[in-house]
């Protein structure tokens, strides 16, 4: 069975939704219970938001727009680009998780601050890859101007 754009979108949306919700819940729990984050809740939110909001907004916005338009066509998707997008997404989400664990292990907010540069780059790369599946393609017009 060939990979369709719809299946690729749904798979990537599930990966990102699970990653976002997992880390969001963990950070809420940690900010409420760990002395490490007391008084630094805004810093934690400021660190977390740019790592997920642009990508999750792209995914949600596309899925909502498609639902309003009657869905996405079952056009074929490039399986290599899809596999690469899944791989890069999982590496990125793993890096975010490792950074959250490092902060808890170190009992310091410094790992969060230090990670912003490489996670920011990773977020840009993964969002670019996801764009292959979540940015609407305009159908090609046949014929020339006339």
Residue 90's Cα: distance from chain center in Å?
A: 10
Does 47 have pLDDT greater than 90? yes
End-to-end CA distance of the chain: 41
What average pLDDT does the structure give for the chain?
87
pLDDT at 144 over 70: no
Give pLDDT, residue 138: 47
Rounded mean pLDDT, 29-57: 90
Q: Which helix (H) or strand (E) holds 135?
A: none
Q: Model's pTM, two decimal places?
A: 0.86
> What confidence score (pLDDT) does residue 142 get?
53
Q: According to the model, what pLDDT value does residue 136 have?
A: 61
Question: DSSP characters for 31-83?
Answer: HHH-GGGTT-HHHHHHHHHHHHHHHHHHHHHHHHHHHHHT-----B--HHHHH
Distance of CA 78 to the CA centre of its chain: 19
- Say yes or no to pLDDT of 99 above 90: yes
Handedness of CA 97, 92, 79, 66 (dihedral sign): positive
């Amino acid at each position: 069975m060939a990979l369709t754009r719809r299946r690729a979108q749904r798979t990537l949306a599930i990966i990102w939704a699970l990653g976002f919700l997992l880390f969001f819940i963990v950070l809420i729990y940690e900010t409420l219970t760990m002395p490490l984050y007391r008084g630094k809740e805004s810093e934690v939110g400021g660190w977390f938001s740019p790592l997920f909001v642009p990508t999750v907004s792209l995914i949600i916005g596309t899925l909502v727009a498609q639902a309003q338009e009657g869905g996405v066509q079952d056009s074929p998707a490039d399986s290599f680009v899809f596999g690469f997008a899944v791989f890069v997404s999982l590496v990125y989400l793993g890096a975010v998780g490792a950074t959250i664990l490092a902060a808890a292990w170190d009992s310091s907010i410094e790992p969060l601050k230090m990670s912003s540069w490489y996670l920011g780059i990773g977020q840009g790369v993964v969002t670019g890859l996801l764009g292959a599946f979540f940015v609407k393609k305009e159908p090609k017009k046949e014929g020339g101007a006339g």
